[in-house]
Structure formats: structure tokens, C-alpha cells
Amino acid sequence: MPTALVTGGTRGLGKAIATELAGQNWRVIIDGRSLAALDAAVSQLGGDVVGIDGDITSPAHRDRLVAAIGDSLDLLVNNASELGPSPLQTLAQISPDDVARILDVNVLAPLALTQALIQPVISRSGVIVNISSDAAVEAYSGWGAYGASKAALDHLSAVLAEENPDLSIYAFDPGDMRTDMHQAAFPGEDISDRPLPETVVPALVRLIDRRPPSGRLRAADLLAEVK
């Protein structure tokens, strides 16, 4: 039975990915800060799903994740992410503390988790997926700190791929999705026209099944191949 760690698996894209993997008989470990949301997600997902509550920026929490995984890991999905203040703030407005928090959650924590789990992933010639955003490559007003964090995550992904040619390492841009994070970015707006995160999952499954060369990939492009 293959094993996956999906950070931020209690709602949104992370939960949709975990649901698909559990349905395909993967052993899935998820995390999230809200224990109530974690318990609800674990019972909804069924299958061999383990929930570990905590903040991904906490070294002690990451240690618990690593201990739960053991010696082998087929798939690491660095999905948990911090948008920053809602409503979004311009770079002239956003506080250094908020920028530091965004970088901590979106860059430093995924790197630390990758460092802690690289040997278990190598042991399975596995896959690392870092969830990116179009804000990493486009300049949107208000998205500066978050976009910079995702650009940094993209770069870490690219260098990690150079350093580990036997692994499959992707920066995966899911596109807009109807989630709590997206609603926080557009407070008070109707986001019902955005696709649900479940619609993106077939692109990720294709990535894991086909394992194209490491790189930055967009869900929209992968979904076009599926059709």
C-alpha cells in the first residue's frame, strides 16, 4: 500500500487529494491546525487515513508527521498554505510580521518537511508535489507577499529536482478553486463560478501516474491532456 502525506488535508484542495488517494487504497496522512476539522475529515475520508493536528511551521509537529510516516513515503504534497491578511494588502501596506508568516508557512515549512522526508521519498523513488499558484508568475495587485512565497517555492522545487534527478518533483499550479482561501482573497464576492477543488484532482492523479519530467506544471494543461 503506497503512503502519502498531504499537508492541509482538512478542506479545500488538500482534502480533495486525500479523498482520491484514500479511495485508491493509499495510506494517507493529513494535517491541519483545527483538531475538530481534522477529526471530521478523517471520519469522512474513511480508509487508511491518519490525522495529525498541528501547525506545519512547528518543528515538533513536523517531527510527529515524520514519525507517523516511518521509513518510506511515496508521495509528499506540500499543500498547506497561508494567504496573509484578508482583505489582501498591497506591498506598501502589509506588515513585516505578516510577510514573515507567509514565508514561514509557504516556503520554510515545506522545505523543512522535504528535508526531513527526502530519504523516505528516495527509498520509494517517490514524488514531491509543491502546490504553487499563478500568483508565482503573474504580478497581481495585493498578491505580492503570497506570490513571492509561491515563486520561492517554485524555485526550491526546480533546484530540488536538479539535485535529485531520480525523483519526480513538481511545482503544481492548480488554478482558481472555490475554497475558503479563495473566498478570503475575495471577501464578500460571489466565487461560485470558480471550479471546485475536486475538479483539479484528476490532473494531480495524472501527474502521479504518468510522472512526466520534473518541473512546473499547470492543472489546466494536464486536464487538457486527460480530455
Ligand X SMILES: NC(=O)c1ccc[n+]([C@@H]2O[C@H](COP(=O)([O-])OP(=O)(O)OC[C@H]3O[C@@H](n4cnc5c(N)ncnc54)[C@H](OP(=O)(O)O)[C@@H]3O)[C@@H](O)[C@H]2O)c1
78 forms beta bridges with 130
80 contributes a contact to ligand X by CB under 6 A: yes
In the set 26, 143, 146, 172, the catalytic residue is 146
84 contributes a contact to ligand X by CB under 6 A: no
Residue 71 or 189: which CB sits closer to ligand X?
189
Would you call 146 a catalytic residue per the annotation? yes
Residue 46 or 165: which CB sits closer to ligand X?
46
User: Among 3, 19, 79, 168, which residue sits at the site for ligand X (rule: CB under 6 A)?
Assistant: 79
Tell how far CA 58 is from the center of its chain: 17
Cβ within 8 Å of residue 134, ≥6 positions away: 173, 175, 218
Residue 11 or 124: which CB sits closer to ligand X?
11
Cβ within 8 Å of residue 221, ≥6 positions away: none
Sketch the per residue contact string, 29 through 68, with ligand X: x for CB under 6 A, - otherwise.
Answer: --xxxx--x-----------------xxx-----------
Q: Residue 146: name the closest of 158, 157, 134, 161 by CA.
A: 134
164-193: which residues touch ligand X (CB under 6 A)? 174, 176-177, 179-182
Q: Where are the beta strands (DSSP E) in the chain?
A: 3-6, 27-32, 49-53, 75-78, 127-131, 168-173, 215-218
Point out the residues that are catalytic: 146
